[in-house]
Structure 1
Amino acid sequence: MAKDCPIDQKSPIDWLNKAKELAEPRTSAKDAEAMYVMYELTLDNTWLEKSATNGHAIAQYWMGILYKQGEGFLLPWNRAEVVEKWFKASAEGGYPKAMMEYAAILFEKGDTEGFRQWNEKAALTGYAPTVYGYGSDLAHEPDTYGFPFEPIKGYALIYLLKELDGGGGMQENVEYKLPLIAKKMTSQQIEEAIETSKKWKASHPPLSFFPDRLSQ
């Protein structure tokens, strides 16, 4: 087997060192993405904080997660503020996982309208779990957050998720949810929803679970 490998094939440690070699010089120019790459390569939280402080949305999300999980020496009320600060910054930077974390914080604080707004924004990025939740909410399956009753749009979003073909266990959710929504609709509405699904796909970012690119 070893003889089948190209002679110029790099070992994992070679690739790791090469990545560091490319990323580290860029950090001196306050390149937030390079700082985040350094964090992923080293798991040194100093790099994560530097990246987050310089505006990298994914780094900001992970800062929120770390503090939420109890990292750092903070008083309970200060911890909540810091967690919210990082999730809000990341959400405003466009990262959908942070949008949902921030939305949950708003909901816990009684800001249901804020929750709905960030939920919709996360769905608009193509974040698959939120597309599912948003579609369910619009179809009132269940009606938890006070979304308007829009079964056609709700069915369309859940139907769209069929293209994931089981990715992330989503297919089981879709097969469970669509019949529940369909019971509230006419056959004509269902046909309209399928067309709406096609239009959404053509005009919005592709569905994604936004997996981490490197080591997390």
Structure 2
Amino acid sequence: MEEIPSATFVFSRQTKSLILMKALTFLLAASLFTICKATPLKQQEQVVSPGVVLYNQLKIDAAFPALEKEAKSGNTTSQYYLGEAIRKRNGYMTPEALHWYESAAENNNVYAIIQLGRFKSEPCQEIRDCSPSKKTQAEWFELANELVLPKAQKGDPESLYLMYEITLNREWLEKSANAGYPTAQYWMAVSERQGEGFFLIPGKREASIKKWLLLSSEGGHPKAMMDYLQILFEEGDVVGMRHWLETAAATGDQAAISNYGAYIAHTPDKIGYPLDLVKGYALFTLLKELEDSGGIGRYVERKSKEIRKKMTSEQTEKSLEVAKDWKATHPPLSFFPDKLGN
């Protein structure tokens, strides 16, 4: 496959150990969308604010003022992401980050509540820049459980997944995956790839991983699509690769778009797409908007020049219209960072 910077995650295998990551998180905490009482989760997730779009594009400096404006207006999703952005920028839970997490948590944002449950004060105490949380870790997890468990018991797929994040009990993850939640299906595949689960018959583990990635891909999970493409590549399924790469690109995933744009422009022609220089260049024009987020700047610039050399001035002009139309009819570009990030 086309080699681009590792930060873009193209057809890469998940290298981190899910179980180790979850175990470490649990030790720090107890030792993949906002839930509110009034509005259903899925309804809330339909609207993505400008600040969250910038956060998902890893344009953190640009995201801060937008997220802060949205957070101050009472947007609990933006309050959560502002807390995430501040914590990640500083490498620990600052008083400002804690404030925004707790602001979201006071409005029953379960993601914020879970992160507060995972928060240990020792790192910030060492730096002497720490404010006490309004609840203990155990109290935050108890609140999360109170909000999520009733919905999980009724079979709500996302709530089942959140119970896994709260308890780290893999049974909840499997229940959520079986209930059709794409994020849970993706992490089931990752966990099995890292050795979880029991498979006595040779080949069953690989078949199960492929099954979960396909189900998650069909549910619209971009990272699952990219991992599923790797399996199709190894199997030599070019027809399947053409379908899923185009589908992944339509989600806004920057890695899928960069590969799709390169392949339809035949730079190189890897999987037999019809040549479309105009659309290929248009997609790289859009990727330039990410600047050097995720370290992709040089790659995008190099590929853009490579495609441009093949084009007429008329084609270049037409590509601007195609780029504008794509942007208007597709989700924003995104790196799709995990919502419950470390």
Give secondary structure in 1 for the equivalent of 2:296: helix
Q: Which residue of 2 aligns with 1:41?
A: 166
Cα separation, 1, equivalents of 2:269 and 2:292? 25
Which amino acid in structure 1 is aligned with residue 220 of structure 2?
G
Residues 19-38 of structure 1 correspond to what in structure 2 (within 5 A)? 19-38=144-163
C-alpha displacement at 1:130, in angstroms? 0.3
Q: Which residue of 2 aligns with 1:66?
A: 191
Cα separation, 2, equivalents of 1:153 and 1:193? 6
Q: Which residue of 2 aligns with 1:10?
A: 134
Residues 11-160 of structure 1 correspond to what in structure 2 (within 5 A)? 11=135, 13=137, 14-74=139-199, 75-160=201-286
CA RMSD after TM alignment: 2.3
Cα separation, 1, equivalents of 2:185 and 2:179? 9
Conserved? CA contact 1:40–1:215, under 8 Å: no
C-alpha displacement at 1:40, in angstroms? 2.0
Q: Which residue of 1 aligns with 2:4?
A: none
C-alpha displacement at 1:187, in angstroms? 2.0
Cα separation, 2, equivalents of 1:139 and 1:113? 18
Unaligned segments of structure 1, at least 5 residues: none
Which amino acid in structure 2 is aligned with residue 206 of structure 1?
P
Cα separation, 1, equivalents of 2:291 and 2:142? 37
Q: 1:12 to 1:197 in 2, by over 3 A?
A: farther
C-alpha displacement at 1:45, in angstroms? 1.5
Give secondary structure in 2 for the equivalent of 1:71: coil
Overall identity of the aligned pairs, in %? 49
Instruction: Kindly indicate whether structure 1 or structure 2 has the higher relative contact order, using CA contacts under 8 Å at least 6 residues apart.
Output: 2
Which amino acid in structure 2 is aligned with residue 195 of structure 1?
E
Structure 2 length as normaliser, TM-score?
0.58
C-alpha displacement at 1:12, in angstroms? 6.9
Q: Encode CA deviations 1:73-123: one digit per residue, 9 max, x unaligned.
A: 224411111011101111111112112222222232222111110110010
Q: 1:207 to 1:79 in 2, by over 3 A?
A: same
C-alpha displacement at 1:11, in angstroms? 4.5
Which amino acid in structure 2 is aligned with residue 141 of structure 1?
T
Cα separation, 2, equivalents of 1:125 and 1:138? 17
Q: Which residue of 2 aligns with 1:207?
A: 333
Give secondary structure in 1 for the equivalent of 2:230: helix
C-alpha displacement at 1:183, in angstroms? 0.9
C-alpha displacement at 1:189, in angstroms? 1.2
Residues 159-198 of structure 1 correspond to what in structure 2 (within 5 A)? 159-198=285-324
Conserved? CA contact 1:38–1:47, under 8 Å: yes
Structure 1 length as normaliser, TM-score?
0.90
C-alpha displacement at 1:37, in angstroms? 1.2
